[in-house]
Amino acid sequence: MGKITIVDKLTKRASLRALRKLANDDNYQFIKKCHLFQDVGPEALVFLMENVIERRYRRHESVFQEGNPGICLFLVKSGRVEIFTEEEDTAGERTVLAVVGEGRVLGELSVLSLTYRSSSARAVDPGTTLLTLSSYDIDTLMDQHPHDGLKVLRGVTDTLAHNLIETNKRVRELQLELARLRRAANGATDE
Amino acid sequence: MNEDRLTRSMMFAVLLLFGLCLAGIMLWVCRQLLSPVITGLLIAYLIFPIVRGGARLGIPKVVIVLAIIASLVAGIFVTIYRFVPQVKSEIEILTKLSDTQKEPGDHEEFTSEAQSKLVTTVRLLHAQLKQYGLVSTDLQDTEIVNAISGWLANSTASLVRGATDLAVRSSQFTLVFLFVLVFSLLDGGKLYKTIIDLVPNSHLETGIFILNKTERILGNYLRGLAVETVLLFFVAVALLMMAVPHTKITVVMALMVALILALTNIVRIIGPIFGGFASGIIVAIQVTDLPSIAVVAAVAILVQVADNVLVLPLVMREQVDIHPVITMLGILSGGMLAGVLGMVLAIPVIAGFKVIYRVVAVEIKRYDANSAENFAAHDDLWTDGRHLTGGRVMNDTM
């Protein structure tokens, strides 16, 4: 940790004063509780509050579409968001990959790497509210408050690691299910 | 599904086109207001980091903005106090000089040093042209005096006529400019969010992308322009200083010519031509020496070569990739809409429109089933050359 200068002290004091004014702001309360930003300092919280964009979605309104470049990270403030693939299955229906509820994060990979959206997302409930931060904002956060930026990135990688573990579990279950079905199919053929 | 997406994308493109046309018409109707508004927004954009930095330290925004405005107003008053009496006396001298046309040949009254130097320069040029057989007639001093006096009389009359009009326009300009500046500085952060609020949910990411990219182009252009102007000034000074011992060009004159060449270069294509001529005329009036004029002309050309070969590719890679015809049309349109300022801003505005055009072109192609491949073909647009990861194997939304 470097030496704390008078500028740092003044900035921190001004940030704390700004956050006191935001004490009753529901977006501030939400961001403070969000696991990605739980440990960040007051300066970073002020920055996040200055840059976060709130959007309300109608039922079934598109949040993002598969194949588009991912620019934003979405935080579900209220309502639910459905994540699905555009490709339809044999029954002519889209495969729903997950339904994300309040307090969860969407599109977090766009913060780490420039990616194309691998699936689409749309609001499930009417009046679903999302808070948006662009990858440009996260880049600026990293530039201006590197310590806090690192904490946010740690949060993102934790989320990704959790998702990966869940996906591995699901893949293993499906592999076992597939093996069981194959055995059953082989048994039926032998008979 | 694809047809649905095509319809949506087409609607988006049509609406965007309609919006651009409407914006164009509004700009034309309000072009009188355009210069102070653009200047105000531009200055606010450049000094907003000071306001933001001060606010981070806990200084109220109003105090910072008031301090900035006070300094600006003080600057304007000092300028008026220092330069208006000088301009007034210059106009009086010009009016007196233009009266000599009424009495041709009266050389007693022909006292202006500048005017007599101009006559000498014209006489010298005429002699050179005659020597090379390009002209055959003789030119009398009286004819030169009459021609210069006539030109001066016309210029002075229009200058005096325009002075009152200029004063009124300047006051209007200053008022609108200060108004825009104050509110842009106070609400700088909110402006971005207000624009984003206008973007529909389905195109939020595209909107954020366009805004960030155009903002970056404008910022880079203005910073690049500042670096380019300073570099060209020093190049011109260095070249002219080499000529100082061998010609009649003085150090002060060299600095002045270098400043003119660097500043006029801000307006692409037209600026350097104007700067070259203006520098040539100034040197002609001041020293009446053909080698000095030739040196200034050579320096003006060398500065342009240095700018195009060395400086531009280094400081403005993104902006030079615009066709010269488009650049020329843009500068002329900018000049018609917002004067010199419109000419200066023509390039970043064209670059911004180029980004919007490319994004819209990609949006229209989105109905293609392989849209990721479609975007992949425009990787440089989205990532500035950085490689985009193939998202089909990476689920970023789980």
- The pTM of this model reads 0.69
Chain A interface includes B371 (CB < 8 A): yes
Quick one: pLDDT at residue B333? 82
Cβ–Cβ < 8 Å for B114, B100: no
pLDDT at B96 over 90: no
User: Distance between CA atoms of B212 and B199, rounded to whole angstroms?
Assistant: 14
Q: Residue B188: exposed, middle, or buried by beta-carbon count in 10 A (0-12, 13-18, 19+)?
A: buried
Give the pLDDT score at A177: 93
List, in sequence order, every beta strand (DSSP E) within A35-119.
Answer: 53-57, 62-64, 72-78, 81-88, 94-100, 105-106
- Mean pLDDT for chain A overall: 87
> For chain B, first and last CA: distance in Å?
23
Q: Does residue B277 or residue B315 have the better pLDDT?
A: B277
Mean pLDDT value of segment B65-86: 81
Q: Indicate the range of A68-77, A117-126, B2-11 predicted with least confidence.
A: B2-11
**Whether the Cβ atoms of residue B264 and residue B275 lie closer than 8 Å to each other:** yes
Element (H, E) at B100: none
Provide the pLDDT confidence category of residue B107 given band limits of 50, 70 and 90.
very low
> Closest Cα of chain A to B175: distance in Å?
30
> Is A53 in Cβ contact with B57 (below 8 Å)?
no
Per-residue pLDDT at B377: 52
Predicted local confidence at residue B374, as pLDDT: 52
For domain A10-190, give the CATH number.
Answer: 2.60.120.10
- Give the A:B interface size as CB pairs under 8 Å: 120
Give the mutation candidate from A68, A113, A156, A168 for the B interface (greatest B CB count, under 10 A).
Answer: A68
Whether residue B109 lies within 8 A of chain A, CB to CB, comes out as no
Residue A160 distance to chain B (closest CA, Å)? 8
How many residues are recorded in chain A?
191
pLDDT above 80 (res B43): yes
Q: Tell me which residue in A43, A64, A115 faces B205 most closely, judged by beta carbons.
A: A64
> Is A140 an 8 Å CB contact of chain B?
no
The A105-106 sheet, strands edge to edge: A53-57, A128-134, A72-78, A105-106
Question: Quick check: A165 pLDDT over 90?
Answer: yes
Say if residue B392's pLDDT is above 60.
Answer: no
Residues in A 41-60 with any Cβ partner in B closer than 8 A: 43, 50, 53, 55, 57
Q: Report pLDDT digits (tens) over B338-361.
A: 777 777 778 777 877 777 777 766
Q: Which of B204, B390, B392 sits opposite A55 (nearest CB)?
A: B204
Percentage above 90 pLDDT, chain B? 5
> d(Cα B77, Cα A155) in Å, to the nearest integer?
55
Residues 49-68 of B with CB under 8 A from A: 55-58
HSE-up of residue B257 (Cα within 13 Å, Cβ side): 35
Q: Which of A53-62, B40-49, B153-162 has the highest mean pLDDT?
A: A53-62
Residue B336 — very low, low, confident or very high, per pLDDT cuts 50/70/90?
A: confident
| Whether A98 and B204 lie within 8 Å, measured CB to CB | no
Q: Output DSSP code: residue A70.
A: P
CA of A190, closest CA in chain B: separation in Å?
A: 37
Residue of B nearest to A46 (CA): B56
What pLDDT is recorded for position B100? 52
Decide if A43 and B396 are in contact by the 8 Å CB cutoff.
no
Give the mean model confidence (pLDDT) for residues B80-104.
61
